[in-house]
Amino acid sequence: MAIGTGPRGFTRQSAFNAVMYALLAAGLAFIVYPIYMAVASSLKTQQEMIRSFITLPSKLYLGNYAEIFRDKGFVSSLYNSVLITAMSLVLIITVIPLLSYSLERNSERRGYKIAFIYIMLGIFIPFQIVMLPIVKIMSNVRLLNRVGMVIIYLALSVPKMSFLYFGFMKSIPLEVEESAFIDGAGIWKIFVRIVYPLLRPMTASVIILQGLWIWNDFMTPLIILNKQSKFWTLPLFQYNFMGEFVSKYNLVFAALVLSMLPILLLYIFMQKNIMQGLTEGAVKG
């Protein structure tokens, strides 16, 4: 009998694989079941929800979605979420690559090295510590609105995303830039035409990571936008909507499904690039 082989040829490796597959199946069920509950419940009438919470709907009832779209609060919150997320991502993938490029290509200089360390310290500061100062500052400059949210998201993204871009840029050979410089290209042209296109995998990763965070963020809009309902984002709308319609779970789940779809489609569209960007940015950093 071979070492590690049981009486029926059942090896330790087979046992390990069986355990791993069982754990993966349990994890998949743990993730899929809440999604199933949300989608199935959103397609039920109020009477079906009362009769059974876990069964499939008897027919595809789309009245819940129609009722949600008739709610002006949902439409306004959807617009706010799309606007804030889109504007924040545009600034993040424009400003932070420029900053990271400057820091990485001058990393041997003392001033740039100190600046990089100072920016990286932001990774270790919990949001709860800066939460009240942010509210105070934004209130003083009268930016408790959508513009203020975009500025906050850009500022909070600088430390982590600079670290990822900084590491990814180490994989770009300097010889390519030196050749372009010899041909007469300036720094700006080199960055726009050569460096930035090579950052596409990392940029896709940043869009997904920060897009998911900004779209689903609840705490920051709560402390900045909660006073005026016209500025609510979808998480704030859902929070208040659940309090108003706590007995109508079919409507609550319909709102949740509609809120989940845009960012889910973004992830599906760009997920091919996320692993490449994160792996190269983290390992080479």
Residue ranges per structural domain of the chain: 73-283
**Burial level of 49, CB count in 10 A (0-12/13-18/19+)?**
buried
Per the document, the length of the chain is 285
Q: Is the pLDDT of residue 270 over 80?
A: no
Residues 6+ apart with CB under 8 A from 17: none
Q: How high is the mean pLDDT of the chain?
A: 85
CATH of domain 73-283: 1.10.3720.10
How far apart are the C-alpha atoms of 17 and 207, rounded to whole Å? 35
Q: Is the pLDDT of residue 269 over 70?
A: yes
Task: State the pLDDT at residue 187.
Answer: 86
Q: 19 vs 4, 14, 25, 245, CA distance in Å?
A: 16, 9, 10, 43
pLDDT band at residue 46 using 50, 70 and 90 as cut-offs: confident
Total-model pTM: 0.84
pLDDT tens digits, one per residue of 109-124: 999 999 999 999 999 9
